[in-house]
Structure 1
Amino acid sequence: MALPWAFAVLSLLPLLDAQSPACPNFSVPITNASLDQISGKWFYIASVYRFPDYKKEASEIHAAFFYFTPNHTEDTILSREYTTMRGQCLYNSSNLRVHRENATLTKYENGTEHYGHLLLPQDPKTFMLAAFPEDKQKMGLSFYADKPEVTPEQMEQFYDYLTCMGLDKSEVVYSDEKKNLCLPLEKQHDEERRKEKERSETGTALD
C-alpha cells in the first residue's frame, strides 16, 4: 500500500518554468539543513493525483500524520506513519533513502522503487511532494504541514504550485482531522518508547 508520503511515484523530473516564482524548483539538492527542516511530526493536508491507482487511494484516506527522523550520515529517514482509511488506523514504519542531488526520497514497496521529489516552499512549516510533472495523465502534488490545520497563506502556496504544474483546485482531495482514528495508537507507542528509554537509562546507570 502506498503511504501518504509515497503517493509521489516519480521518474526523474525536468525543470518547470523557472521564470515563475510560484513554480517549484526541482533542481535544489537536499542538504543537512533540508533534512533538519523536515524532521519531526507532519500532517497530510491535501493532494491531487491523476494516476488512477493513487487517486483512488488518496480518496480513501481520511487523515494521516507521520514522524520523520533523518540520519545525515546514512542518508536515510526513519518514517513512522499513521493513516486513517477505510474506517481503521494503519501504522507502518520504514526507512526512506535520501538522494541529495536529485532532491528525491525513495522507498522500496512490493518490489517497486517509489520516488518522491521533495519541495520546500518559503514557509518552513510546510513541504510538498511532486509526482510526474512531465505527464499530464499521471502528475500529482501532495501537501504536508506541522499542524493538522493550515493558514490561508500556507494553502495558497499549495494552490500556486498546483497552478504552475497545470493542476486545478477542483481536483484537490483534502484530509479531515476530525476522522483521525490513530491518536490512541500514537499515545500507546509514545508510552512504550518512554518505558523503553527508562529501562535503557536504568540499565546504563547500573552498569
Structure 2
Amino acid sequence: MALPWALAVLSLLPLLDAQSPACPNFSVPITNASLDQISGKWFYIASASRLPGYKEKASKIHASFYFFTPNHTEDTILFREYMTVGDQCLYNSSSLKVQRENGTLSTSENGTEHYGQLVLSKDPKIFMLASFPEDKQNMGLSFFADQPEATPEQMQQFYDYLTCMGMDKSEVMYTDEKKNLCLLLEKQHDEERKKEEERSKTGTALD
C-alpha cells in the first residue's frame, strides 16, 4: 500500500506557481539539509484531503510509521513503511524519488507516479506533505512527527497550514497509536538487521 499522502495525490498534475499570500511557499527546493532533516523514523499523525475516494482509503489506516534513508547522490529516499489497517500490520519497502528544484517527493505504484510537496516548518521534529495546494476541490495535507503523538504546538502548525490552504479542522482524519499492531514486526526486522550486520562484519574480518 502506498504512503497515506500518496493516496491523496493520484494523477497529480504539475503544481501551479500561484500561491495564497497567507500560505507558505509550497515549492521550496529540496537540499541535502532538507533530506537530512527528514531522515530517520516518522509517525503519520493526521491528514486532510478533498480528493475523491481518499477519505474511504485513509479511514482504514489506524496507525502508521516510516523509516526514511536519503541518498544524496542518487536523489532517492529508501523508505520502510509499517501500516496498521484493520486488524493486521502491512509492511512495505520501496524508494522515493526526490525532485529537488520543485520540492517534491514521488513514488511509483502500478505504473503511476504519485507526488507530494515537501513542507518543512521551523520545528525539525515535524514535516508535512501537500497535494494540490492551490486546487480547492482536490487539495490535501498530511502531517508527520518524530513521536507517535504530536504536541499541541505542533498540531497548531498543521492546523495553521490547513487554514491558509482553505481547509477546516473538521476535515482532518487522525491516527491512533494505541491501535498500532506493527511493533512486533518492527522488532523482528531490527533483530534480523542486527544479525545481518554482525554476519557482514564477521565476513569482512575473515577476508
TM-score grouping bracket, smaller chain normalisation = over 0.9
Aligned to 2:173: 173
1:54 is displaced (CA, Å) by 1.8
Which residue in the other structure is 1:203 paired with? 203
CA shift for structure 1 position 8 = 4.3
Per-residue CA distance 1:133-178 (angstroms, 9 max, x = gap): 2222211100000001111110000000000011100010000000
Q: C-alpha root-mean-square deviation of aligned residues, in Å?
A: 1.1
Q: Which residue of 1 aligns with 2:128?
A: 128
Instruction: Deviation per CA, 1:6-56: give whole Å up to 9, x if none.
Output: 2341322234223x3xx2311310000000000000000000011122221
Distance 2:133 2:116 in 1: 12
What displacement does 1:87 show? 1.3
Query: Which of 17, 20, 25 is equivalent to 2:20?
Result: 17
- Where structure 1 has 5 or more consecutive residues not aligned to the other structure, the ranges are none
Q: How many Å separate the matches in 2 of 1:26 and 1:13?
A: 9
Q: In structure 1, what is the Cα distance between the partners aligned to 2:183 and 2:54?
A: 25
State the secondary structure of the residue aligned to 2:74: coil
Aligned with 1:195: secondary structure?
A: helix
On the 8 A contact 1:13/1:26 being kept in 2, the answer is no
Letter in 2 for 1:42: W
Contact 1:45–1:143 (CA under 8 A) maintained in structure 2: yes
SS at match of 1:16: coil
2:164 alignment counterpart: 164
In 2: Cα distance, 1:8 partner to 1:117 partner: 12
The match for 1:142 is 142
Q: Which residue pairs with 2:59 in the alignment?
A: 59
Structure 2, unpaired ranges of 5+: none
Q: How many residues align?
A: 204
Deviation at 1:5, TM superposition (A): 4.1
Distance 1:11 1:126 in 2: 26
2:99 maps to: 99
- Whether the aligned pair in 2 keeps the contact of 1:7 and 1:116 (CA below 8 Å) is no
Note if 1:77 corresponds to 2:77. Answer: yes
Aligned equivalents of 2:82, 2:180: Cα separation in 1: 9
Normalising by structure 2, what TM-score? Answer: 0.95
CA distance in 1, matches of 2:74, 2:204: 26
% identical equivalent positions: 76
Cα distance in 2 for partners of 1:143, 1:31 equals 20
Residues 29 and 102 in structure 2, CA contact (< 8 A), matched pair in contact too:
yes
